[in-house]
């Protein structure tokens, strides 16, 4: 039969070869090259051929940026179903499926720990949980991170990865924009640094709210960042969008971002930024050296 062939007087089964190698390789979405998954993971999930940044989950993001010994907090919050919402599936079923898939209660985790010598409060969004959409729990979790930052005077870092507000929660979701923005205004009044890191993708209410309100707004290379998606804009305006529209490089060129930083350089870049944004940390470090 066609799937058997003879090599060196041996009969081999190509199907068995396929099974043994299945799942070991992945294709880059940019250069289309096949990449050995182990090599990809060792390269921080960045394509070694073209530099395309694959999406990573919230836990990995925290582990890459914070020093060992950090603590995950505010994980107990769980979304309800205030509208008893149903589209193709019941919202309750979507939540249960997302919890099984990600092992999280919602699309975000908070962490406290050190980034280099700096004490920080960090929120990282999980795109794998209903597209990283922002409902009441995401809003409350970020609000708690802001409160913790205010109480400790430690800088706040939020890593965004989201399709926007969670439509299944309606106005309850939209309320989170004002809630978070007002909290960030309090941080600004207290002169506590807030750094926003936008990753692929960052859209909708998340972009309209906290993703663009940082004292420093940075992004990973190639990240799609915007309010409405490019297809929606083209269909509405009936115009062809410029090449690379809504990519991080386009936003940097047009003044919407302060910097684009590769994943391998992100931690060192943030540490350097905190060195001049958080003078109280610098003074504390100098005091400990002097003592």
Q: Which residue intervals of the chain are DSSP H helices?
A: 14-21, 37-42, 58-65, 91-102, 136-152, 170-189, 204-208, 230-237, 248-253, 263-277, 279-290
User: Any idea what DSSP says for residue 167?
Assistant: G
Q: CA 7 from chain center: how many Å?
A: 49
Q: Name the CATH code of domain 56-284 (choices 3.20.20.150, 3.30.930.10, 3.40.50.300, 3.90.226.10).
A: 3.90.226.10
CA-to-CA separations, 232 to 162, 201, 239, 254, in angstroms, rounded: 17, 15, 11, 21
Going residue by residue through the chain, which has 291 residues, state the pLDDT in tens, using 9 for 90 and above: 444 455 555 555 555 444 455 679 999 999 999 999 999 999 999 999 999 999 999 999 999 999 999 999 999 999 989 899 999 999 999 999 999 999 999 999 999 999 999 999 999 999 999 999 999 999 999 999 999 999 999 999 999 999 999 999 999 999 999 999 999 999 999 999 999 999 999 999 999 999 999 999 999 999 999 999 888 899 999 999 998 999 999 999 999 999 999 999 999 999 999 999 976 554 444 443 333
**Domains of the chain: which residue ranges?**
1-54, 56-284
CA-to-CA separations, 228 to 89, 122, 177, 237, in angstroms, rounded: 24, 26, 16, 12
Per the CB < 8 A criterion, the answer to whether 54 and 139 are in contact is no
Packing angle, helices 263-277 and 279-290, rounded to 10: 80
Partners of 119 in the beta sheet? Answer: 114
């Amino acid at each position: 039969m066609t799937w058997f062939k003879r090599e060196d007087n041996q009969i081999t089964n190509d199907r068995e070869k396929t099974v043994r190698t299945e799942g070991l390789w992945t294709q880059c979405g940019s250069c289309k090259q096949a990449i050995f998954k182990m090599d990809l993971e060792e390269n921080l999930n960045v394509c070694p051929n073209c530099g395309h940044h694959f999406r990573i989950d919230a836990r990995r993001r925290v582990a890459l940026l914070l020093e060992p010994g950090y603590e995950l907090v505010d994980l107990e919050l769980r979304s309800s179903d205030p509208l008893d919402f149903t589209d193709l599936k019941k919202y309750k079923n979507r939540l249960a499926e997302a919890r099984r898939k990600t092992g999280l209660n919602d699309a975000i985790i908070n962490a406290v720990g050190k980034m280099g010598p700096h004490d920080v409060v960090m929120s990282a969004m999980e795109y794998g949980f209903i597209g990283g959409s922002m409902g009441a729990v995401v809003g409350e979790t970020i609000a708690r991170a802001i409160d913790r930052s205010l109480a400790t005077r430690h800088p706040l870092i939020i890593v965004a990865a989201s399709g926007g507000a969670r439509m299944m929660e309606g106005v309850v979701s939209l309320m989170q924009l004002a809630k978070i923005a007002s909290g960030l205004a309090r941080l600004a009044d207290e002169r506590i640094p807030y750094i926003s890191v936008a990753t692929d993708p960052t859209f909708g209410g998340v972009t309209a709210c906290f993703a663009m309100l940082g004292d420093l707004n940075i992004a990973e290379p190639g990240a799609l960042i915007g309010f409405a998606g490019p297809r929606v804009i083209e269909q509405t305006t009936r115009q062809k969008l410029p090449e690379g529209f809504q990519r991080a490089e386009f936003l940097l060129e047009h003044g919407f971002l302060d910097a684009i930083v590769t994943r391998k350089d992100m931690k060192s870049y943030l540490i350097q930024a905190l060195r001049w944004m958080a003078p109280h940390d610098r003074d504390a470090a100098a005091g400990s050296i002097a003592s």
